[in-house]
């Protein structure tokens, strides 16, 4: 693309942005027009893009790159400067549209980005991993009400869970500290390299949170360019994992943030990399900092399911390996040479959480099945020593908060619950199919906002665009409507995009009320040799339960469907998902971790119905007008 062609593309994008200025806003009705200096900033951004793109094009020419191939070769990035220029023009257009349409609180957005450059790096932490700065101060907004003393970026050596700050619930009703994106990322001049992942993505928005020379790999859903790898900005490579038969999505939300000091921060989130997820709807973040080892340890290929091994598996399956090689071909200062460096160079000894991914595809055989979906959840529960045990008189009650409802059957819900108890998938497959299909629903509470709750929130129905339950699901004859409970945030009148399971261990009989596991279905014989049954049989240390936080909604697409036989199992998974699981020590720990008001209020059937976008005349009208 010549300079003249690029300038024409920019002019067109500006015209389109101007026309989009009057588009209606679905998430809020109190927006205002931005000041004129936004256009000046837009022009400055475009000029930087032109200069960066010319430099990128020159360097590509010097290397003798070819733009004739329509597909990048393995471990290479598409040079195609024209692709970058056109995408940059589109991203800048989207940025202007977003600023015109979505931003209504400059103290939340503009000062959010400026805050990270003003915070000094943490030089001292307490033994509990928290900074000496006020925890409450770290969760407050940057603006007139912020503390006058400098805020210090805390380091979390022991891990931390917080809800994302929300401008519609400040201060929070429960008084709990929160995370803002600038606090999750830390001081941006300290970041050397980052691997990010998101389903929904506002590239030009997230780009502004990093220095221009910071190297970034972006794992993202892109149905139009499956498995493609391409530059989106200088030093940024976007990569897309394989989508099978055009179905499913790359739904993971994680960050690996490498700092110039050597520290690594691991972030598992429920928030997409779009501004509304960090401002208007509530999300949850788990993060933990890891120190650099004094010297690398040898690679151990036999360790396959602890946290770093699972993280490396996720990077492998989401197409990060060739993206890393491509980035290193451009920049020799990338802090890792291979994804295996995660285990060998950083100290994971303080990480107590278990990593639980879902990898899209058909997984056959125990070695593959145990690394993904609800079978991986089963292994995580066992690794924590929290298997209920067959015939032990214990059960697990699940409360599952999510933003999307699945199509449920008693067989699938019992299949999931079986894994949530830490019970063997091998035993489940030994149960006769006809018997599995007739089991009653297990003790599961589906936490999802009712129509009344959505209407009572600050944004009302226009703010419900990220919550999904179809009328066909809800009105199906055998749908478990009596398992639905209202979702009310402990922050106040906001909706939650958080995906979270609170699992409470009960001292009572299992499904069927007989206090027996497989004996309820088959026999008392335990043949769980392939599952290492002797490792963890019953609950240890008297923990009250466990929590899951991540991207999985309560759906078969996210967690998978198990089939096949106990000798040769098959798990079919539609989506890429990722979350963490860790024990809950006591009732106080449960209450502090759960993001919804507990105990949740059960739907009154005939009076309460879930929020369903398709039944919302207000939302449909707004969409039609847009």
CA separation for the pair 355, 123 (Å, rounded): 29
Instruction: Give 216's strand partners.
Output: 194, 236
Q: Per residue in 161-186, pLDDT tens?
A: 999 999 999 999 999 999 999 999 99
- What pLDDT digit, counting tens, does each position of 542-551 carry? 789 999 999 9
What structural domains does the chain harbor? Answer: 1-63+72-104 (no CATH), 106-351 (3.30.870.10), 354-625 (3.30.870.10)
Pick from 82-86, 230-234, 437-441: least confident: 82-86
Residue 120 confidence (pLDDT) above 70:
no
| Gyration radius (Cα) of the chain, Å | 25
Q: Say how far apart CA 385 and CA 532 lie, in whole Å.
A: 13
Tell me how long the chain is: 626
**Does position 255 have pLDDT exceeding 60, yes or no?**
yes
Determine the number of helices (DSSP H) and then strands (DSSP E) in the chain: 20, 19
DSSP conformation letters of 63-119 = HT-----SSPPTT--B--HHHHHHHHHHHHHHHHHHHHHT---HHHHHHHHHHHHHS
Q: Are 542 and 505 in contact (CB under 8 A)?
A: no
Looking at residue 112, its pLDDT comes to 43
251 classed as catalytic = yes
**Within a 13 Å sphere around the CA of 124, how many CA atoms are in the beta-carbon half?**
2
The helix or strand, by DSSP H or E, that contains position 571, with its residue range, turns out to be: strand 569-573
497 a catalytic residue: yes
| Helix/strand/coil for 301 | coil
Taking a C-beta distance cutoff of 8 angstroms, is the pair 77, 230 a contact? Answer: yes
Candidates 99, 246, 113, 87; CA nearest to 182 is 113
Binned at pLDDT 50, 70 and 90, residue 48 comes out as low
CA pair distance 110, 127, nearest whole angstrom? 34
Residue 483 in tokens:
């398992």
Task: Give pLDDT, residue 127.
Answer: 30
Tokens standing for residue 428: 């489940």
CA dist 97 and 227 (Å) reads: 28
Q: Compare 330 and 336 and report the one with higher pLDDT.
A: 336
Q: What Cα–Cα distance (Å) separates residue 572 from each residue in 374, 424, 584?
A: 11, 17, 30
Determine which one of 168, 230, 251, 374 is catalytic. Answer: 251
- Rounded CA gap, 489 and 499, in Å? 13
- pLDDT for 148: 38
Alpha carbon distances (Å) from 539 to 384, 490, 505, 592: 8, 30, 9, 22
The residue among 581, 599, 603, 582 whose CA lies nearest residue 591 is: 599
Residue 114 has φ and ψ, to the nearest 5°, of -70, -25
Provide, rounded to the nearest whole percent, the portion of the chain with pLDDT above 90.
60
Mean pLDDT on 331-342: 93
Calpha distance 111→513 (Å, rounded): 56
Catalytic, out of 168, 221, 374, 497:
497
499 labelled ligand-binding: yes
> Do residues 183 and 165 lie in contact, with contact meaning Cβ atoms separated by under 8 Å?
no
pLDDT of residue 249: 93
Residue 285, strand partner residues: 162, 269
Long-range contacts from 598-603, C-beta under 8 angstroms, 24+ separation: 598/399, 598/502, 600/399, 600/445, 600/447, 600/485, 600/486, 600/487, 600/488, 601/485, 601/486, 601/488, 602/445, 602/482, 602/484, 602/485, 602/486, 603/450, 603/481, 603/482, 603/484, 603/485, 603/486
Higher-confidence position of 160 and 245: 160
Q: Which of 230, 186, 192 is nearest to 331 (CA)?
A: 192
Give me the chain's average pLDDT, please.
Answer: 78
Quick one: average pLDDT of 104-124? 38
Contact criterion met (CB below 8 Å) for 104 and 30: yes
**CB under 8 Å to 570, separation ≥6 — which residues?**
362, 363, 364, 369, 562, 563, 564
Question: What would the mean pLDDT of 516-525 be, rounded to a whole number?
Answer: 29
pLDDT of residue 47: 52
DSSP string, 578-601: EEEEEEE-SHHHHHHH-SB-SSPP
Which of 507 and 364 is assigned the larger pLDDT? 364
């Amino acid at each position: 693309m010549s300079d003249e062609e690029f300038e024409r593309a920019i002019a067109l994008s500006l015209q389109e942005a101007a026309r989009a200025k009057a588009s209606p806003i679905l998430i809020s009705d109190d927006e205002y027009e931005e000041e004129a200096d936004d256009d000046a900033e837009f022009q400055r951004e475009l000029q930087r893009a032109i200069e960066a793109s010319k430099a990128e094009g020159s360097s590509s020419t010097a290397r003798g790159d070819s733009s004739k191939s329509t597909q990048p070769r393995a471990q290479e990035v598409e040079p195609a400067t024209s692709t970058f220029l056109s995408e940059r023009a589109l991203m800048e257009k989207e940025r202007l549209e977003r600023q015109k349409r979505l931003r209504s609180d400059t103290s939340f957005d503009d000062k959010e980005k400026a805050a990270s450059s003003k915070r000094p790096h943490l030089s001292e932490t307490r033994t509990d991993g928290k900074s000496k700065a006020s925890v409450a101060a770290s969760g407050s907004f940057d603006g007139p009400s912020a503390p006058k003393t400098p805020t210090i970026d805390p380091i979390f050596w022991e891990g931390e869970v917080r809800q994302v700050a929300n401008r519609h619930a400040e201060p929070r009703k429960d008084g709990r500290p929160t995370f803002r994106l600038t606090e999750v990322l830390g001081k941006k001049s300290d970041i050397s390299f980052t691997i990010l992942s998101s389903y929904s993505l506002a590239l030009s928005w997230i780009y502004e949170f990093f220095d221009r020379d910071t190297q970034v790999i972006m794992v993202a859903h892109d149905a139009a360019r499956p498995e493609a790898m391409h530059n989106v900005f200088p030093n940024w490579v976007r990569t897309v994992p394989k989508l099978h038969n055009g179905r499913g999505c790359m739904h993971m939300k994680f960050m690996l943030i490498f700092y110039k000091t050597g520290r690594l921060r691991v972030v598992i989130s429920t928030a997409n990399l779009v501004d509304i997820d960090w401002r208007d709807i509530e999300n949850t973040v788990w993060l933990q900092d890891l120190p650099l080892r004094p010297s690398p340890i040898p690679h151990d290929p036999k360790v396959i399911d602890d946290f770093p091994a699972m993280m490396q598996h996720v990077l492998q399956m989401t197409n990060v390996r060739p993206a890393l090689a491509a980035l290193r071909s451009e920049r020799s200062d990338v802090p890792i040479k291979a994804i295996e460096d995660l285990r060998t160079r950083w100290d994971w000894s303080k990480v107590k959480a278990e990593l639980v991914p879902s990898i899209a595809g058909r997984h056959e055989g125990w070695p593959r099945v145990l690394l993904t979906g609800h079978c991986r959840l089963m292994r995580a529960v066992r690794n924590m020593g929290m298997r209920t045990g067959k015939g032990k008189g214990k059960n697990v009650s699940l409360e599952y908060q999510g933003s999307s409802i699945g199509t449920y059957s008693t067989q699938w819900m019992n299949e999931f619950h079986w894994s949530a108890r830490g019970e063997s998938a091998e035993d489940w497959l030994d149960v006769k199919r006809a018997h599995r299909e007739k089991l009653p629903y297990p003790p599961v509470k589906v936490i999802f906002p009712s129509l009344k709750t959505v209407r009572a929130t600050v944004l009302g129905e226009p703010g419900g665009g990220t919550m999904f339950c179809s009328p066909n699901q809800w009105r199906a004859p055998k749908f478990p409507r009596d398992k639905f409970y209202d979702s009310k945030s402990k922050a106040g009148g906001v909706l939650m995009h958080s995906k979270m399971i609170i699992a409470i261990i009960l001292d009572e009989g299992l499904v069927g009320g007989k206090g027996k596991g497989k004996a309820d279905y088959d026999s008392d014989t335990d043949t769980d040799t392939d599952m290492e049954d002797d490792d963890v049989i019953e609950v240890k240390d008297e923990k009250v339960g466990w929590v899951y936080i991540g991207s999985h909604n309560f759906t078969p697409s996210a967690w998978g469907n198990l089939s096949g036989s106990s000798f040769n199992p098959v798990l079919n998974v539609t989506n890429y998902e990722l979350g963490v699981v860790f024990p809950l020590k006591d009732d106080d720990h449960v209450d502090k971790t759960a993001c919804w008001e507990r105990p949740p209020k059960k739907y009154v059937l005939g009076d309460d119905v879930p929020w369903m976008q398709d039944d919302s005349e207000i939302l449909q009208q707004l969409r039609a007008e847009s």
